[in-house]
Amino acid sequence: MDGLSVVIVGGGAGLGELLARMAVEAGVTGLGIIDIDGNAAATALEPARAKGLPVASASADIQAGPECHEAFAAMVAGLGRVDTLINCAAIYPRRPILEITDAEWDASNGVNIKGTYHMMVAAIGHMKEQEPKDHVRGRIVNLTSVDAFKAHPQNAHYAATKAAVVSLTRSFAHHVAGDGILVNSVAPAGMATERARALGFLGELAKASPLGRGALPTEIAEWVLMTGGPKNTYMTGENVIVSGGYIYA
């Protein structure tokens, strides 16, 4: 991420917070975080502040389009330029396929699809007007999931939203290619996180993977940063699957 200014949506905790720390280590020139928890967003910026980097944080419920646009405007005001947007915010409400409620559908669609959509629209409005670096005016990376490509009756609404994000990624990539904006997605399999440990998923992850383990969060984060980083100057509309052989594409 050397030389780029980066904004992470959902950067207050989990993979997003890890991405924020790793982006600082990788040499970003500025860091912004948008999260529904404003305090968490501000705290996640501490490594960037410690290095004296420009920072910006905003609290937003990304289910609402106006909040997305206001939050991104705050990023531009604080950082001046945004080179990379990483859409990491999502909810994961497990429920058997025949028991999903309207409220759960609406929440999943609102955060995972609408939020991603509105954040991309807000970012593109800014990126298309800035001067390119190595032919690229901006990069967007959306976090999807291998669940978008397999049957998932225990979490069908989540899987459906992630399939929708893959489709949105391709449509946006095609639409803004002429503006020099690259739009890609990264689809991880299950990660060996503390939450997965607490919920008892680690054994399930190990059995599902040919490598015999779930992914380390850093192993996923490296691919996200590479896809949104300065070395990617030509790939767009792609979905990078990082699954340890869980699925092949």
pLDDT of residue 165: 98
Q: Is the dihedral of CA 55, 56, 61, 63 positive or negative?
A: negative
What is each CA distance from 56 to 36, 63, 131, 172, in whole angstroms? 14, 20, 21, 26
Q: What is the rounded CA–CA span in Å between residue 112 and residue 94?
A: 14
DSSP state of 44: H
Ordered strands of the 138-143 beta sheet: 55-59, 30-35, 5-9, 84-87, 138-143, 181-188, 239-242
pLDDT of residue 208: 82
Return the bridge partners of 139, or none.
84, 182
The CB-side HSE value for 10 (13 A sphere, CA atoms) comes to 19
Active site (catalytic) residues: 158
pLDDT of residue 207: 84
pLDDT of residue 201: 73
Return the closest-CA partner of residue 109 out of 154, 59, 63, 71: 63
What is each CA distance from 147 to 6, 55, 154, 179, in whole angstroms? 27, 34, 11, 31
The CB-side HSE value for 116 (13 A sphere, CA atoms) comes to 29
Local mean pLDDT, 10-residue blocks, the chain (249 residues): 96 96 98 97 97 98 97 98 97 92 96 98 98 97 95 92 98 98 95 76 81 92 98 98 89
- Maximum distance among all alpha carbons in the chain? 51
Measured in whole angstroms, the distance separating CA 13 from the mean position of its chain's CA atoms is 12
Q: What is the rounded CA–CA span in Å between residue 27 and residue 77?
A: 21
pLDDT of residue 66: 97
Q: What is the rounded CA–CA span in Å between residue 235 and residue 213?
A: 29
